[in-house]
Amino acid sequence: MPRSVLSRCARLAHQVPLESVGSIKHGVHRGMSSVTIPPPACMLRPLEAPFRYLFGPGPSNVPPRILAAGGRPIIGHMHSEMFGIMNDIKKGIQYAFQTSNNMTLAMSGSGHTAMECAVFNIVEPGESVLVAVNGIWGERIAEIAERIGAKVHTLNKPPGGHFTNAEIEQAVAKHKPVLFFLTHGESSAGLVHPMDGVGDICHKHNCLLLVDSVASLGAAPIFMDQQNIDILYTGSQKALNAPPGTAPVSFSERACHKMFNRKTKPVSYLLDMTHLSNYWGNDGKPERIYHHTGPVSGFFALREGLAILAETGLENSWRHHREVAEHFWKGLEDLGLKLFIKDKDLRLPSVTTIAIPEGYNWKEFLAYIMKHHQIEFTGGLGPSVGMVLRIGLMGYNCNKANAAMALAALEDALKQCRKSKA
Residue 368's CB: how many other CB atoms inside 10 A? 18
| pLDDT average, residue stretch 153-171 | 97
pLDDT above 60: residue 227: yes
Section 206-233 average pLDDT: 98
Give me the pLDDT at residue 419, please: 85
> Which residue(s) pair with 104 in the sheet?
250
Assign 420 a pLDDT band (cuts: 50, 70, 90). confident
What does the pLDDT look like over 308-338, one tens digit per residue? 999 999 999 999 999 999 999 999 999 999 9
- Whether the predicted pLDDT of 17 surpasses 60: no
Is the Cβ–Cβ distance between 247 and 110 less than 8 Å? Answer: yes
Which is more confidently placed, 12 or 417? Answer: 417
Residues 6+ apart with CB under 8 A from 274: 260
CB atoms closer than 10 angstroms to residue 185:
30
- CA distance linking residue 276 with residue 265, whole number of Å: 14
Task: Report the pLDDT value the prediction gives residue 29, as an integer from 0 to 100.
Answer: 52
Residue 33 confidence class, pLDDT cut points 50, 70, 90: confident
Distance between start and end Cα atoms, the chain: 70
Q: Contact at 8 Å (CB) between 377 and 55? A: yes
Distinct helix (H) and strand (E) counts, the chain: 14, 14
Q: Is the pLDDT of residue 24 over 50?
A: no
DSSP, collapsed to helix, strand or coil, labels residue 155 as strand
Q: What is the DSSP string of 346-398?
A: GB-SSEEEEEPPTTB-HHHHHHHHHHHH-EE-EE--GGGTTTEEEEE--GGG-
Give which of 126, 192, 139, 140 is closest to 161, Cα–Cα. 192
pTM, two decimals, is: 0.90
Between CA 279 and CA 296 the distance in angstroms is: 13
Q: Specify burial of residue 88 (Cβ count, 10 A radius: 0-12, 13-18, 19+).
A: middle
Compute the average pLDDT of residues 72-96: 97
> What's the pLDDT tens digit per position in 252-268?
999 999 999 999 999 99
Query: Tell me: the pLDDT tens digits for 289-314?
Result: 999 999 999 999 999 999 999 999 99
Confidence category of residue 31, pLDDT binned at 50, 70, 90: low
The 10 Å Cβ neighbour count of residue 115 is 25
pLDDT reported for residue 421: 55
Beta bridge partners of 412: none
161: CB partners within 8 A, 6+ apart: 134, 191
Per 3-state DSSP, the chain is made up of helix, strand and coil in percentages (nearest 5) of 45, 15, 40
